[in-house]
Amino acid sequence: MRVIVTPKATVLDPQGAAVREAMQHLGMPEVREVRIGKYLEIEVEGDAAEVEPRLHQLCRDLLSNPVIEDYQLQRSEEGAE
């Protein structure tokens, strides 16, 4: 499974702003905005459907800060991963 944690649209992302400026100075003036989040690949034994509700809970409690971040939980294409 994959979890993507991103800063909420209303929250400042200074790291993203720094990367945007670096990209603009390094030959990509077209860059308008960069937002940086976390990407987690989680390998779970057993049935993804059975595990998913608990994983959602952990996304809220451990992997993201719901005050300032959103998360997306995705099943990987390959069954077991």
* String of contacts with a second copy for each residue 8-27, x by CB under 8 A: --------x--x--xx--xx
The contact mask relative to a second copy for 35-74 (x = CB under 8 A, - = no) is: xxxxxxxxxxxx----x--xx-xx--xxx-----------
Quote the CA–CA distance of 41 and 27 in Å, as a whole number.
31
Q: Using the CB atoms, write b or e for 19-48: b if 16+ within 10 Å.
A: ebeeeeeeeeeeeeebeebeeeeeeeeeee
Please report, as ranges, the residues that interact with a second copy according to CB under 8 A.
4-6, 16, 19, 22-23, 26-28, 30-46, 51, 54-55, 57-58, 61-63
